[in-house]
Amino acid sequence: MARRYTYLNMFLGFLFGIGIANLKVDPLVNTDLGLIRGVRANDGDYSMFMGIPYAQVNASNPFGAAIPQPPFEGLFEADDDSAICPQIEEINYTIMGSLDCLHLNIYVPSIANSQKKLPVLVWIHGGGYRSGSAGRYLFGPKFIVRHDVILITMNYRLGAYGFMSLDTPENPGNEGLKDQLVALKWIKKNVEAFGGDSDKITLFGESAGGRSVDFHLLSPNEKLFDKVIIQSGTTLGPAFYAPHKDAPLILATHLGLVTEDKSEAISFLASIHTDLIVAATYELGLVFRPCLEKPFEEVDAFITENWIEANVPKVRGMPILLGFTDDEKLVEYINQPKSYFENLNNIFYERLHFGFDVDSPDFEGMIESVRRFYISDGTNDENVKYQISNFDSDFTYIHPTSRSISKYLVNGAGNIYQYVFSYNGDRSFGKRDKNFTDSIAGAVHADEIGYLFDARYYEQTPSADDQLVIDRITMLWTNFAKYGNPTPIFFELLPITWTPITKNSLQFYLDINLELSLGVRPFHNRMAFWDLFYLANVKLQRMYPGS
């Protein structure tokens, strides 16, 4: 088991008169920050370097740009992945976290060395830009690293700390996305010390993580990856809110300081415990997400162009893998009481409000047309929750993915591999998180997470069916990272060739279930309806919902 991460390891082996292959000490790596010592995994042949700080939050303005991480004083023990940025945690719904959270976790197969550099997969977690973290509780590496790739997961600031925008140089917004960028720069610079190939970095994420990947494609900042995987979420999905420019004044007032000076409010909030900021954000109903930035000469902006209209030059020649689950939004509607569906027009209004100027005279009749398409008989029977779910899934995830594919192709993307994940098993994360079971449902939002990652959240051993899905999806994803093609050759495990989408081709996709099957344009009739709908209302699209 060669562990030649650096020349230092070779020197240590020589010094003690033993071969590197027989070393039983924990792995040691030399980076630009100094020496990092990881730990050997006890569930596979790989090493873990956890909790590596890649930047620090500025204590005087924790809502602004991060500051560089200074070199370590001595050896850094990378053995703790428990850091979490301030949030209401999404499993137990408790307030937790600290601003000492801008950390990376790097998982390295034992075969990695300077002569055998491995492809790298960098994961951005989801959570609506308000929750989530990078630790093994949800994102255990075992399933992925056994395919001889390096897996890296990252934390980034969330909520007010990550996405408060005041249109000032000190607080321009998108600091959570900029944290991700700083992490990617650190990875690009240092991953070869861990045995990674800095020219083979695949950026991937789900939900808000998938949207973040798409934002990195759109951003004019340097390209630090050569492939992307986008799971259930692109920037064309209606998910963004106009920034609260008075947010610091509102938060400060709620927490005891009445002021009209935003700088004074920021200084006050910087002195307040993070738990109180998170609680106040929730109590006030404030939502912080990515936004357009006002450009400043002295500030490196992340995105200043309307992402609906922006070109994506970074995708030229780039292989892309993306898709969604087949019942994305069902979990939000399945347990709603019958009374919830009594005024269907209100439901359609509230959702369409996220993407269109629904109050414009030019939008008249459009809500009714959508309602009739999905619920033609107008009845409120047991099926209405499934029909509303189909509408919301199409509007929020499925048709935005189709539009993103078209945008990538216009910008010269390489092969595009589209998938639909439809497996319903015991490790379906989205259902388990919401305590939801339904024998006729497919896969809901985030269900695939339980099959990509060996989460400590699951205590039981995977069933035979679950293990088959685990083996297949992780091989597809890691093949893509290695070769830019998820099915480069015939495998007994993958007895199919995944046909990519290319310019002027049909919109092919792979259905990922117990059986793998190829199809053309998922949910074709529903997507054709939305093609016409957007064509008719293109001038009424909005990046942000109403006030």
> Is 131 among the catalytic positions?
no
In this structure, how many other beta carbons lie within 10 angstroms of the beta carbon of residue 26? 16
131, 207, 393, 422: which is the annotated catalytic residue? 207
Q: How far apart are CA 184 and CA 191, in angstroms?
A: 10
Q: How far apart are CA 55 and CA 102, in angstroms?
A: 6
Q: How far apart are CA 224 and CA 236, in angstroms?
A: 22
The arrangement of strands across the sheet holding 227-231 comes to: 39-40, 46-53, 103-109, 150-154, 118-124, 196-206, 227-231, 320-325, 416-421, 508-512, 516-520
Which stretch of DSSP H or E encloses residue 502? none
Residues 6+ apart with CB under 8 A from 309: none
Q: How far apart are CA 256 and CA 276, in angstroms?
A: 11
Decide: helix, strand or coil at residue 170. coil
Which stretch of DSSP H or E encloses residue 382? none
Which stretch of DSSP H or E encloses residue 408? helix 399-410
Task: Please give the full DSSP string across 120-149, using - where no structure is assigned.
Answer: EEEEE--STTTS---SHHHH--HHHHTTS-
Which are the catalytic amino acids? 207
